[in-house]
Amino acid sequence: MLDVDPYQALQRLRPVDTFTVTSTDLQEGGALARPQWSSAAGGVDRSPQLSWSGFPAATRSFAVTCLDPDAPSGSGWWHWSVANIPVSVTSLEAGVGGPGGPSLPDGALVLRNEEGSRGFIGAAPPRGTGVHRYLFVVHALDVPGLEIDTDASPAILGARCFFHGLARGILTGTATRD
């Protein structure tokens, strides 16, 4: 278990209600399994299974993001950004949207990660940078879909979630190569 509140990394975001995010592949504060690591670091770039519940009744869609706020970049490292997930979808299978994996729901939009690819890129914390947190965030939004360009950055998605967010749930994984 982490001693750090996972919401602390997002403290500058507008306060909203919270809801529950769980995974069959990840326990809150636990180490990411090898499949959730980058292929460049001995993994397979497979997103974890995620499920969520307890979001507001006014929710019209979801976005899912994964950010490493501990990356030595000054702005974190976006590993995954998916917008326009229909409100009827309350879970994503492991590896969703990845090569050979299950498909994302119709209408979902995947933005480029920091490596420039569309999909999940696993953990690869640089040696000597300590324990990194990977914040898997499900955003409950007040619109059925965000107007967002397919070439927008994850930060643009974050801004849209800021203005349209009703609630968010966070599940935090960790990884280190020290």
- The model's pLDDT over 132-143, given as tens digits with 9 standing for 90+, comes to 999 999 999 999
Other beta carbons within 10 angstroms of residue 91's beta carbon come to 15
Q: In this predicted structure, what is the pLDDT of residue 58?
A: 98
Provide the token pair at 137.
Answer: 């965030």
170 pLDDT band, cuts 50/70/90, is: very high
Output DSSP code: residue 36: G
Q: In this predicted structure, what is the pLDDT of residue 9?
A: 55
Quote the pTM value: 0.92
How far, in Å, CA of 80 to CA of 16, rounded?
Answer: 22
Mean pLDDT of 93-114: 93
Q: In this predicted structure, what is the pLDDT of residue 107?
A: 94
The verdict on residue 1 lying in a domain is no
The verdict on residue 26 lying in a domain is yes
- Give the containing element (helix H, strand E) for 13: none
The verdict on residue 152 lying in a domain is yes
pLDDT per residue as tens digits for the range 2-21 = 566 655 655 566 789 999 99
Give the mean pLDDT of the chain.
Answer: 93
**The total number of structural domains that make up the chain:** 1
Beta bridge partners of 171: 136
48 Cα distance to chain centroid: 10
Mean pLDDT of 103-115: 95
Q: In this predicted structure, what is the pLDDT of residue 7?
A: 54
Mean pLDDT of 100-110: 93
Q: In this predicted structure, what is the pLDDT of residue 101?
A: 87
How far, in Å, CA of 123 to CA of 34, rounded?
Answer: 9
Q: Which domain holds residue 127?
A: 6-175
The verdict on residue 136 lying in a domain is yes
Mean pLDDT of 78-92: 98
CATH number for 143 = 3.90.280.10
For residues 94 and 35, is the Cβ–Cβ distance under 8 A?
yes
The verdict on residue 132 lying in a domain is yes
Percent helix, strand, coil in the chain, to 5, is: 10, 30, 55
The DSSP string of 54-77 is ---TT--EEEEEEEETTSTTTT-E
